[in-house]
Structure 1
Amino acid sequence: MRAMLSIKPEFVEQIVLGRKKFEFRKVLFRQRVTTIVVYATKPYGKVVGEFNVSNILEDIPQSIWNQTSEYAGISKDFFDKYYSESDKAVAIEIGKFIPYSEPLTLKEFDQNIRSAPQSFIYLQ
């Protein structure tokens, strides 16, 4: 199964540079997802590439930070604010990122996608 994630452009850049090897979420997928398609949010607003899911970690936020901080690609302060009201954190380990030769609009990528996913959407 593939899913599309909306990720801020500055974090996409960190993924591309190999500095961010974990994508953080508050909710775990209900289905087994093996590939993530990356939508860089506005102002860029394009589907830029994809990566394989190497692993998914799920635990309390402090434990997830301890396991991922070296390649989190975000500050501890940002992490703490994101999870401030959560007892659970999810870290998706990013496998090899494969950039698309040409970034695509959502419509170019899939005519059925009408708007950017708030968090993620499953893809056919």
Structure 2
Amino acid sequence: MNKDKSILLSLHPDFALKILEGKKRLEFRRRFPILPTGTKVYIYATKPVGKILGECQILSIKKIEAQFADFYIQKSGDNREEVLNYIRGLQEFIVLEIRNPIKLNEPAFIQDLFSEIKRAPMSFCYVPNK
């Protein structure tokens, strides 16, 4: 596990809930850093929710050639057309495999957990471990 850093990850509210309910274990990204297994990820649901809903851990992060997208889309259960539109034009994309989702008892504003973060990240940002 990465003892120094965690990630605050911005997600559409529907995707955030699916992850926290254990229904979504793969997340697609156009780019993302390669992080060690066990890195903690705080899940921020974008507006209209605008709060951190929970956390999970990274099981793996893989760079995937675009020609293999269908294999991962089928495993993810995500809408094929939406994912293909999202990765259109890329030669490769990133698949985050996640584990151990934990929903917070009470959703929290970013500043309640991380006073140094002044606004929600577009995609992700590093945060200190809590």
Tell me the residue number matched to 2:120.
116
Question: Cα distance 1:122–1:4, how it changes in 2: closer, same or farther (>3 A)?
Answer: same
**C-alpha distance in structure 2 between counterparts of 1:53 and 1:84, whole Å:** 25
Letter of the structure 1 residue corresponding to residue 9 of structure 2: L
Are positions 1:35 and 2:7 aligned together? no
Letter of the structure 2 residue corresponding to residue 93 of structure 1: E
**Identical amino acids, percent of aligned pairs:** 28
**C-alpha distance in structure 2 between counterparts of 1:120 and 1:46, whole Å:** 14
Asked if the contact 1:20/1:73 (under 8 Å) is kept, the reply is yes
Tell me the residue number matched to 1:19.
23
Tell me the residue number matched to 1:9.
13
Letter of the structure 1 residue corresponding to residue 46 of structure 2: T
Asked if the contact 1:6/1:117 (under 8 Å) is kept, the reply is yes
Letter of the structure 1 residue corresponding to residue 111 of structure 2: K
Residue 68 (structure 1) shift:
4.7
Question: Cα distance 1:56–1:108, how it changes in 2: closer, same or farther (>3 A)?
Answer: same
Letter of the structure 2 residue corresponding to residue 51 of structure 1: C
Letter of the structure 2 residue corresponding to residue 95 of structure 1: R
- Unaligned ranges ≥5, structure 2: none
> TM-score normalized by structure 2?
0.86
* 1:74 match: secondary structure: coil
Asked if the contact 2:9/2:124 (under 8 Å) is kept, the reply is yes
Tell me the residue number matched to 1:44.
49
Asked if the contact 2:40/2:57 (under 8 Å) is kept, the reply is yes
> TM-score normalized by structure 1?
0.90
Alignment of 1:45-64 (within 5 A): 45-64=50-69
- Unaligned ranges ≥5, structure 1: none
Tell me the residue number matched to 2:82.
78
Aligned residues: 123
**C-alpha distance in structure 1 between counterparts of 2:9 and 2:86, whole Å:** 17
What whole-Å deviation, never above 9, does each CA across 1:44-100 have from its counterpart, x for those lacking one? 000111101011121112324313522x24211001000012111101001010111
**C-alpha distance in structure 2 between counterparts of 1:113 and 1:31, whole Å:** 21
